[in-house]
Amino acid sequence: MLRRLICLVLCLYVPLAQAEIALPEIGDAAGGLLSAQLEQRIGVTFMRQVRAAMPLVDDALINGYVDGLGQRLGRNSSDSARGFSFFVVVDPTLNAFAGPGGNIGVHSGLILTTETEDELASVLGHEIAHVTQRHLPRAFEHQQRMTVPTIAAMLGAIILGAYGGGDAGVAAITAVQAGAVQNQIDFTRHNESEADRIGIQTLARAGFDARAMADFFGRMQQSGRYSAGQQLPEFLRTHPVTLDRIAESRDRARQMPLRRVPDSGMYLHMRERVRVLTGTGPTESLRYYKQNPTPDGPMAAKAWRYGKVLALLRAGQFQAASQLLAGLSAGAPDFLPYRVARVEIALGESKPATASALARNDLKLFPADQALLALLGQAELRSGNAAATRALLGDFIYRPQPPPHILELLAQAADKRGDQVEAYQMRAEYHVQNGRLEVAMEQLRRASKLQPIAYAQLATIEARLRQLQDDLEFERQFFGRRSLTLL
């Protein structure tokens, strides 16, 4: 995977670097920063590249939690009107990164390394500050008029650095335009202090412990001291931590009011869900819970047992999972993770009718919850009620970034209903979200040739084809002609 990404930056952009193709008025010293509209479009393209290059967590419960945490911080940031999008990368290393368009990624390994929700929030708050302070557009403007290869290399470097690239990411972009691009990297590194300061303010306003950033950075710095001869955690390499920086963070935190929001336990439970769903497999997950003792503290112990429930579920030990979950649910019958797990167990036991009944009842308490809706749609599909799946999940297609697993369910539902045109359309959108525009366009072309086809359907397909063709040209402008290995 890393070799493919290095090829994406090195092999495909070096010929372009000789052409000095100018971007369409990104900005100049007098004209201001990269326009919000252009940045958002770059952000959409960036996320498609991310999905094509990295394995992302496609679990509605985890994504809903991380997004909710991030949106809470965003509402209390210095630019609360700005839109943010948060996602989790399946990667055991410690890292987080902010891309264009307010897209913020966090590695599963970082979630597992944090010890409190405040620590996780501190990392998200730091990355949010990079966005609100417009550090990436300012880096673009620092170059005044950047060439296509340079901006493409910078965006590719974010992906490389975010997914285990480390020094390879810096080496790759330096090979394109050594002086210009390295200046941009140096420029962005100078923004770390500002991101710390703004991030701590955001933490405090959102009701988190402002000291958590310094605590987390301190633990990371301490772990780096004892890793002689070993590679530093990726977070320390992309976010260099010094004793002075930690001390400054502690001083800033002491000036902030301490307003703590009661802990619901969701963080601890989602950390265990991340552990199980991103692990190497059910056998390894079960071994973890057998070899490690139940942690101290009532909420930590419940979260640990919940993780074991999920490990048993993944291993197909449904009766044991159900028994352990029953004990947890008795003490907290309305806790969302436990209710979702009940539905998941019913589906694992091939009881779609039971799963459907449970999910419909749970949705009365958690209306429009995406995890429950997806499970209900899956249960109805397995029950042979594809029309119900379409009715439940059809509106997701109109969202800016529809979840791929929802699009996959809608495609299956269309197949079951005999609507081949819609099946092709849903699969096309699935490929769009995963950065495969050429494949998506081919799906739509096949749909347009089916007979019979309604005029309105054909017009919709042709309009979407034109839009995707425009997106493809934009993508090639900023990222070059992509390697077929990434399709």
Q: Comparing 172-176, 411-415, 468-472, which segment has the lowest mean pLDDT?
A: 172-176
**Which pLDDT band, with edges at 50, 70 and 90, does 69 fall under?**
very high
- What's the confidence (pLDDT) of residue 292? 93
**Which pLDDT band, with edges at 50, 70 and 90, does 261 fall under?**
low
Question: What's the mean per-residue pLDDT of the chain?
Answer: 81
Q: Which helix (H) or strand (E) holds 375?
A: helix 370-382
Residue 199 lies in a domain: yes
For residue 79, give its domain range: 2-254
- E strands present in 398-454: none
- What's the confidence (pLDDT) of residue 109? 94
Residue 32 lies in a domain: yes
Long-range contacts of 379-383 (CB under 8 A, 24+ apart): 379/343, 379/346, 379/347, 379/352, 379/353, 379/355, 380/352, 380/356, 381/409, 381/412, 381/413, 381/416, 382/347, 382/350, 382/352, 383/352, 383/353, 383/356
Please list, in sequence order, all residues whose beta carbon lies within 8 angstroms of the beta carbon of residue 323, skipping any fewer than 6 positions away: none
Which tops the pLDDT comparison, 487 or 2?
2
Residue 300's φ and ψ, nearest 5 degrees, are -65, -35
Query: Given a cut of 90, is residue 263 above it in pLDDT?
Result: no
Residue 392 lies in a domain: no
Rounded CA gap, 433 and 411, in Å? 14
Longest dimension (CA), the chain: 70
Residue 138 lies in a domain: yes
Rounded CA gap, 2 and 7, in Å? 8
Q: Comparing 27-31, 92-96, 221-225, 314-318, which segment has the lowest mean pLDDT?
A: 27-31
Check 39, 67, 196, 422 and give the catalytic one. Answer: 196
Residue 243 lies in a domain: yes
Residue 347 lies in a domain: no
- What's the confidence (pLDDT) of residue 218? 80
pTM of the complete model: 0.82
**Which pLDDT band, with edges at 50, 70 and 90, does 37 fall under?**
confident
Check 59, 91, 117, 127 and give the catalytic one. Answer: 127
**Which pLDDT band, with edges at 50, 70 and 90, does 160 fall under?**
low
Q: Is 196 a catalytic residue?
A: yes
Q: Return left, alpha or beta for 185; rule: phi > 0 is left, psi -120 to 50 is alpha, else beta.
A: alpha
**Which pLDDT band, with edges at 50, 70 and 90, does 209 fall under?**
confident
Q: Is 362 a catalytic residue?
A: no
- What's the confidence (pLDDT) of residue 22? 33
Residue 320 lies in a domain: no
Contact 140, 290 (CB under 8 A): no
Residue 321 lies in a domain: no
Q: Structural domain tally of the chain?
A: 1
Contact 33, 138 (CB under 8 A): yes
